Structure formats: structure tokens, C-alpha cells
Structure 1
Amino acid sequence: MMKINPVFSILITTKNRKADLAFTLNKISYLLEDINVECVVYDDGSVDGTYEYVKHHFPTVKIQRNAISKGYLFCRNKMLNETEASYAISLDDDAHFVTENPLESIKKHFDENDNCGLIAMRIFWGLELPSSTSSSEQPHQVKGFVGCAHVWRMKAWRAIPNYPEWFVFYGEEDFASYHLFKKNWKVSYLPDVLVHHRVDFKSRKNDFDYDIRQRRSLRSGWYLFFLFYPLRSIPNKMGYSIWVQFKLKVFKRDFSALKAIVLAVLDLVLAIPKIVRNSNRLTSAEYDDYLKIADTKIYWQPKK
């Protein structure tokens, strides 16, 4: 029998979040009844029984596992490079579709926009959905996308480098977005498809890893400046970035922010060899054109 490649592949990376993952898989299970859809879960070294749970309770889901964690970006790169689907949907293990039949809207947008390399979906961040989830927004081009919910046209993915695993976490979406821009692929914001990202964003300041998140967020932004921005623009960008951190955090006695700044500067210095090898700088004209594109849509809120 001839093998039929899926049209859509739903790709989920997880680690020690069995309950969140189970909730997500139950929410998207109706999509997996379509023979044109597959789901791949990559368990990155969980010790909470995630792999066994998925194997037993979701037998149609393809599951891979690292015995020892190799990192979020390693897993995403591997799944994207292995899929034979035309479109790959990246979902976090704590995110699910609210929109019914989202694949129809996604496929329609790709079909009608040949130069769209990636779709960024409308995302609500919070533990509970708002009472109204309707939106009057229209699809349009944006600078980038959010990692927890987006869709690759695989032809575009194969035209650019893998996510930079040395970023570890944060910044990889912008890395990909700059490369897409350089290759004349567009990132489209598609508000027709709503995703619920089930996180309490405000409580993250109390998480044990908040300090390292600050450090990684800062350094990834600075890596991107040196990888892609015209040299003339980097001093102002760096100066403004550091000033904002001092103004909003350090001067308000958030000394963990000062520690994050110092360590992020050290990370930047140590990353110079990688930056030199991987730089793909925008020309002045490209940079001006890039600045005209609408900003990335990260958080959606209903209009009051």
C-alpha cells in the first residue's frame, strides 16, 4: 500500500508536565481522527511517566523520547526536520485550539498566500478564557511569531537554518523570522485561529527560574542585534535595551535584574565566535523595510 504523507503534523515538545500535556492531547484529539493529520510528541527526558502515559492513553500519537534532556530547541529542530507533512503546527504542551476546525482556516490562508512561510495565531494567555473570544482583526503581515502556537509551511522551514540551539530558550522565533524575511517569506498573523495558552503570566516572577529567564531573554535579544542588525544601529539598540532594564527594574531595587544584565553581557562576549559564524546582517534598505512591518502579535485581549 502506498504511504500517504500527512498534510498537517502537530508537534509538541514536553518535559515533566504530564497533566498539561494530557489536557492538550484530549483537546486536540478530534483533529487526529483525520488521516491527513498526525501528532508527534517529543518527551525531553521526563521523569514523571510522560512517555508511558502517552503510549498507553494516546496510541495514535507518535512519541519520541530523550533519556537525558537535550533541550527544547534540539527537539523542535528534530521534529521539523523529520516530518513529511506539508505544514507543521508547533504547540506548547499547555496550549490548545479554541477555534473549531482551525486547520481549514490555516490551509485556506496558505493556499491564498503563496509567499506566506509561517502563520502566527491569535493567542490568549491566562488560566481562564474571557467571556468573549470573538475578534474583528484581519490577517496581516507581522515581524515575527510566538513559539507556543504557530504553523510552518515546510518549504519555508527548509529554506532557512535550524533554530540556534545555543540560544537555549528565547529568541529562536525572531532568529527564524529574520531569516524568513531575508528569503522573502512573510509571517502572517491569522486571528481567525484562537489558541488558549494556559499560563498565569503574572505569577512567573515567583517561579524558581525567573532569574535565569531574565538573563536568557536579555542575551537572546542582544544576540539578535549582533546577528542581524546593521552595525550602525547596534550601539543605540544596546544602549536603549540596558537603559530600560535599569529604569524599570534596577532603579526600583530589583537587583536580580542587575545580576541578569551582568551575566547576559558575559554570555554575549562568550558567544562572539558563534555570532561571527552565523551572522546574516540586514542591509540598510532591508532594515528600513523590516521596521515598517507590523509588530509581532504576542498577547491577545478582548476589547472592552
Structure 2
Amino acid sequence: MTSDLTIVVATRNRRDQLLDLLPRHAAPVIVVDNGSDDGTPAAVARAFPQVRVVKLGRNAGAGAARNVGVALADTPFVAFADDDSYWAPGSLERAAELLRAHPRTALLTGQVLIGREGRLDPISAGMAQAPLGTAPGAPGPAVLGFLACAVVLRRAAYRQVGGFAERLGTYGEEALLAMDLAAAGWRLAYVPELVAHHLPAATDRDPRTRRRIEARNRVLTAALRRPGRVVRAVVAETWRDPAGRAGLADAARELGWVLRQRRPLPAAVEADLATLAAAEIDVARPAPAPAG
């Protein structure tokens, strides 16, 4: 067990799966509960008294829950896991070692294996193509996106950029954080020897509602950081789906916040995003059914 890393798990109403996976976590754990009504906080506290459990009392979204966990951690590094994921043995120790050895790197994202059979997540396959190359002295190929259940972060860098934008809630909240870390001069790297197992649970969450939220967050993220031509392209693409049109309407209601928070990306980061788009590699897709 590594002593300079904390695992933050955001959860909502997945008590049984969380209880099943918590023993697999090889570092101190903070569980942040997003208003579960299935007894999750009490069950975790009874079964795992060494785990710190934080009850938010409402569904604040996965990003907000992770922000709370990072604020409470007292280690230099933080790993995220969902309530349906865990890190393979040795991955977190190796991640901490790499972050110590690469002080300009803020985020390491690992290889994601899906299900009991361990299928490679398509995002991991895309990252392995390394369209942005590998900077000299970097721990792995550069990336500009990640799945939240498969990252280990430098806590100071995360807090420097403000963590996740809590207004984005859940679904697609990772993209903005990746951009902000890169804009602040930090490196983000894909390291396939770090392995996260993702075991998506059956869910009764409405897929149309999810598409609506994803569309809203794509538009908001573009409007917050990308040039006008990109924003227009994102809006045009989003309009094709009825759920996307509903997401656009939701995004429009956030216009005041966007105008206050808009900070165009540095040219180098925008160029990297254009490279990824040309390669048709989407490394900012949200993970299936994250907590929240």
C-alpha cells in the first residue's frame, strides 16, 4: 500500500458493488456519497471503519464529489475510482513513483479494461496511437482527455486549476479539467502499465437524459475555452439529436456563467486539440455510467 496517495471514490446508490470492490483498493480511501438513499454511507462505515465516508446529502454530481475528496486528502497524489472500478495491483505504487520522477506531470491516465473479461476500452486504444507524440522526458504519450475512473493526479496541480467545474455535474466533466491543466503548463500522459478495471453495472438511468446532459456539457466546455468556429461546429453537431437540442437549451441558460468564466486556450493547446480532431480520436468521452 502506498502512503503518499489517496483514492477518492464518488458514489451514488451502488452500495453492493461498492462494498464488493472496496477491498481491492490498495491505498487509503475517501468515499464521497452523492445523496444515496440505499444506505451506502452507513453500510460502508460498518464494513470498512478505516474508510473515511463523506455524506454530501444531495446529488451534487461526480465532479463536485471528487473535489470534496481531493480537498480532504492529505497526500501529494490522488487517484480516482468509481464505485464500479478498481486499480490493478501495483498500478498505484507505480503511478506515485512516476509522478515523483516527473515533477512537470500533473496527470497520469491508465489503460482501462472493461468487464470481467477485461476488454480494452476504445479510449485506451485511441490513446495508445499517441497522435500528440511523447515529449522528451515525459512518462508516456501526451493526452488531452481522460476517463475519471482511470487517473492519478498531482493534488497541487488539481487544486491550482480549481478541480472539476461543479456546474458541469456528471457526464463529460473531464474534458474541461484536462484543458485547464494543459493550459496551466502541466503535462498529461497515458501510461498503459497503469491498469484500471471498470465493471459497469446495470443501470436504470435514462439514456436520453444522459445524452442531454452530455450535449449540454460539450457545448458549455467548448464555449468556455474554444474559439468561435469550434463552438459553432459543436452546436451544429449537437443539434442533430433531439436530446442534443434539449441540451443546447440547457446550455443557453448558462450563458452568463460562460461569459464570466470564458478563458480561451493557449495556441499550443488549441493546436493539440485540432490534431486530435484530425486523427478522429475522442479522448474526452465520459466513462459509461459514472457515479452521480
Q: Find the aligned partners of 1:139 and 1:170 in 2 and give their Cα distance.
A: 26
1:94 and 2:70 aligned: no
Amino acid at match of 1:269: A
Question: Is the contact made by 2:172 and 2:217 (CA closer than 8 Å) also made in structure 1?
Answer: yes
Q: Find the aligned partners of 2:179 and 2:228 in 1 and give their Cα distance.
A: 16
1:83 and 2:79 aligned: no
Aligned to 2:15: 18
- Residue 125 of structure 1: which of 114, 118, 122 is its match? 114
Deviation by residue 1:89-146 (Cα, 9 ceiling, x = unmatched): 1100100123x21122102221232211011111122343259xxx9x6931111111
1:264 and 2:265 aligned: no
Question: Is the contact made by 1:230 and 1:284 (CA closer than 8 Å) also made in structure 2?
Answer: no
- Residue 235 of structure 1: which of 232, 237, 240 is its match? 232
- Residue 56 of structure 2: which of 59, 62, 66 is its match? 66
Relative to the length of structure 2, the TM-score reads 0.82
Deviation by residue 1:51-73 (Cα, 9 ceiling, x = unmatched): 22111111111111133433322
Which region of structure 1 is more displaced relative to structure 2, 41-50 or 281-290? 281-290
- Coordinate RMSD, CA, aligned: 2.7
Alignment of 1:1-304 (within 5 A): 6-28=3-25, 31=26, 37-98=27-88, 100-129=89-118, 139-199=140-200, 207-239=204-236, 241-242=237-238, 246=240, 257-258=241-242, 260-292=243-275, 295=281, 296=283
Relative to the length of structure 1, the TM-score reads 0.79
Counterpart of 1:281 in 2: which secondary structure? coil
Q: What is the Cα deviation at residue 160 of structure 1?
A: 0.2
Give % identity.
24
* Structure 1 segments (4+ residues) deviating >2 Å: 66-74, 125-131, 231-239, 283-286, 289-299
Aligned to 2:290: none
Point out the structure with max Rg over C-alpha. 1
Amino acid at match of 1:271: E
Which region of structure 1 is more displaced relative to structure 2, 280-289 or 222-231? 280-289
Q: What is the Cα deviation at residue 85 of structure 1?
A: 0.7
Question: Is the contact made by 2:219 and 2:231 (CA closer than 8 Å) also made in structure 1?
Answer: no
Q: Find the aligned partners of 2:214 and 2:252 in 1 and give their Cα distance.
A: 16
Question: Is the contact made by 1:6 and 1:84 (CA closer than 8 Å) also made in structure 2?
Answer: no
Amino acid at match of 1:167: L
Counterpart of 1:104 in 2: which secondary structure? helix
Give the unaligned 5+ runs of structure 2. 129-138, 287-292
Question: Is the contact made by 2:75 and 2:155 (CA closer than 8 Å) also made in structure 1?
Answer: yes
Question: Is the contact made by 2:175 and 2:284 (CA closer than 8 Å) also made in structure 1?
Answer: no
Aligned to 1:251: none
**Residue-pair matches, total:** 266
Counterpart of 2:97 in 1: which secondary structure? helix
Deviation by residue 1:233-276 (Cα, 9 ceiling, x = unmatched): 3323432x237xx4xxxxxxxxxx41x12211211211111111
Amino acid at match of 1:97: W
Question: Is the contact made by 1:16 and 1:46 (CA closer than 8 Å) also made in structure 2?
Answer: yes
